[in-house]
Structure 1
Amino acid sequence: MPAARKASARKGILAGGNWIIDQVKMIDVYPQREQLANITGATVTGTGGSPYNLLVNLAKLNAGIPLAAAGLVGKDAFGNLILEDCARHSIDTKLLKATSDAPTSYTDVMTETKGGNRTFFHNRGANALWDGSDLDFNKTGPCFFTSAICSCSTSWMVPTKNMAPRRPGSWQRRRRPGCGQVSTP
């Protein structure tokens, strides 16, 4: 089969990048340094990360195309939660690996009961270890790749250190002919 026909026969979306668990905690007030705030309610656990949100939302919309995940989670309860949620949404996780070298990334979202102001405490965890070098686009089923590999800075989003030298050219060089790609730092 000619390469152009092979590429056009592939379909779907592969999303790679950050896989995060958000733990939202309601607090009575944001404390001054070395002061106490009270957690006033139950912790609500949610999921996040650009590729995760994209794939889950497409699944909920019944997009009708194959969806696949790429990245790294920890071999822990949060990593299991992400993998189980992907399975519930029929998201292929062959390229979403688990590691014992770091925990699954998580963010504690401290939310003031009055006013709803939020402050984020983030653990990059396994996301900091993934640079996409394990992806071989010639062996993936989906034809469209999107990525968002970011870490939180004090005022803006910046590419993850390991990914920065690889972008954007490395994705472009490794993608299959006839397939699309979107990358964001």
Structure 2
Amino acid sequence: MKVGLYFGTFNPIHVGHLIVANHLAEHSDLDQIWMVVTPHNPHKKKSTLLDDHHRLQMVHLATEDYSSIKPSDIEFKLPQPNYTVNTLVHLLEKYPMHEFSLIMGEDNLNSLHKWKNHEVILENHDIYVYPRINSAVADEALIASPKIHRIEAPIIELSSTFIRNGIKEGKNIKPLLSPKVWEYIDHNLFYKK
């Protein structure tokens, strides 16, 4: 089975994440998309994150109606901070019959050279790259790699930061979240402060 790994803190998961994941599930050769909830991204401040189990629960709620999109807590069980190369090794050991690819925005592709053991990732895994509006052009040699697959997905310029700020400011952000995720956030009074 070909599995696309869509990593994120999903703080919270929003319709932009679902649009990209569903597009890949429907319009690529990937059999499943795993939404990998990252406990602690080495490039983000941990203090801004909701507890891991809350973010995972929101991913469960957001994806339960999509048969090809699955939540994953695989990184919860690994040493922190999490590095993608370590997660990939763990997944290959746990699921030797699966083929794992990465899903990332063009902005992340541009910083791939800063990732731990990025050469190993690029050598062993395909990377599906979705477009972003304000993204610098990636290195030509990187784009030319047979492992890089640029996809014609809808461009979604929506961020979890924008949503968190909107909630804090009392704005109606319900259209930006799946209804069950909005209810979960509202019920638990998340992002109000």
TM, length-normalised to structure 1: 0.38
Structure that is richer in helix per residue: 2
With CA pairs under 8 Å and 6+ residues apart, which has the higher RCO, 1 or 2?
1
Which structure has more strand as a fraction of its residues? Answer: 1
Given the two structures, how large is their TM-score scaled by the length of structure 2? 0.37
Structure index of larger Rg:
1
